[in-house]
């Protein structure tokens, strides 16, 4: 079987996504082209379909152009004759939950110092994801998304702690954090690459029933913290 017909894994799709992101940073692709090629990469089933989004980028030799070579790195995309390193993204093992809740620094691991029982993981791949109603919110929430529309509504949620740490690892998604009127949100730990991070509520101090500490990376997407629709109008009329 030719290399171009071999099936591809999620890790290879995400690795190609990282290469496309670098191409945008170097001015070889526009944001529109990046979005189109990410669509193709995420839907790719074979190596030929996946490599098609890289074919016109300089410096890349596609392994699908040749018969599968008999050496350990066979099946990997090539860069200037050398195999690319393995994808750097790896899920972090969840450690033990401390008390009180910690404040994660910029660049901290996705899950932080919370145990599996104390962290909620929200994943989306080209999907619409919603958390609302009386859902139970643990001390930490992990948002791991790719080209998705995500709404996380805390207005009726059942909180386990006053402070909730939200870790974001995202490509090209729209993430909305909806909080009660008395809540505060700290978004100083969010790194936006070709995207935006917008806080439309109070940033602190953490004196209300809920304080969100948001950190992580948003690539070509957006994250917004806001009140429910109509809050401003209700304030104007004193209701």
Place 29 in a pLDDT band, splitting at 50, 70 and 90: confident
pLDDT given at position 85: 52
E strands, the chain, where? 60-61, 78-79, 82-83, 119-125, 128-131, 136-137, 140-146, 149-153, 158-159, 163-171, 174-178, 184-193, 196-199, 211-219, 222-226
**Each residue of 90-110: pLDDT tens digit?**
445 544 444 344 344 344 444
**Worst-scoring range by mean pLDDT, 105-119, 148-162, 166-180?**
105-119
Q: Which residue has the higher pLDDT, 206 or 61?
A: 206
- Where in the chain are the domains? 3-83, 116-233
pLDDT given at position 30: 84
**Each residue of 136-157: pLDDT tens digit?**
999 999 999 999 999 999 999 9
The phi, psi pair for 215, rounded to 5°, reads -150, 170
Q: What is the pTM of this model?
A: 0.56
pLDDT given at position 22: 81
**Each residue of 38-81: pLDDT tens digit?**
888 888 899 888 888 888 888 765 544 433 333 334 444 444 44
pLDDT given at position 201: 93
């Amino acid at each position: 079987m030719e290399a171009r017909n071999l099936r591809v894994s999620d890790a290879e799709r995400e690795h190609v996504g990282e290469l496309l992101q670098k191409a945008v940073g170097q001015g070889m692709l526009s944001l529109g082209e990046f979005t189109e090629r990410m669509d193709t990469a995420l839907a790719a089933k074979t190596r030929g379909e996946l490599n098609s989004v890289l074919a016109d980028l300089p410096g890349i030799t596609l392994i699908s152009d040749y018969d599968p070579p008999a050496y350990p790195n066979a099946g990997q995309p090539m860069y200037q004759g050398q195999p690319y390193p393995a994808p750097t993204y790896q899920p972090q093992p969840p450690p033990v939950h401390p008390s009180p809740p910690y404040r994660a620094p910029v660049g901290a691991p996705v899950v932080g110092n919370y145990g599996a029982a104390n962290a909620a993981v929200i994943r989306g791949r080209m999907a619409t994801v919603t958390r609302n109603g009386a859902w139970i919110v643990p001390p930490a929430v992990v948002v791991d998304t790719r080209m998705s529309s995500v709404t996380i509504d805390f207005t009726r949620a059942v909180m386990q702690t006053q402070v909730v740490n939200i870790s974001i690892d995202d490509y090209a998604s729209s993430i909305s954090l909806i909080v009660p009127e008395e809540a505060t949100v700290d978004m100083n730990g969010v790194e936006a690459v070709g995207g935006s991070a917008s806080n439309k509520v109070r940033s602190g101090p953490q004196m209300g029933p809920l304080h969100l500490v948001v950190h992580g990376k948003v690539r070509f997407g957006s994250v917004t913290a806001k009140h429910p629709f109509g809050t401003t109008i209700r304030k104007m009329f004193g209701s």
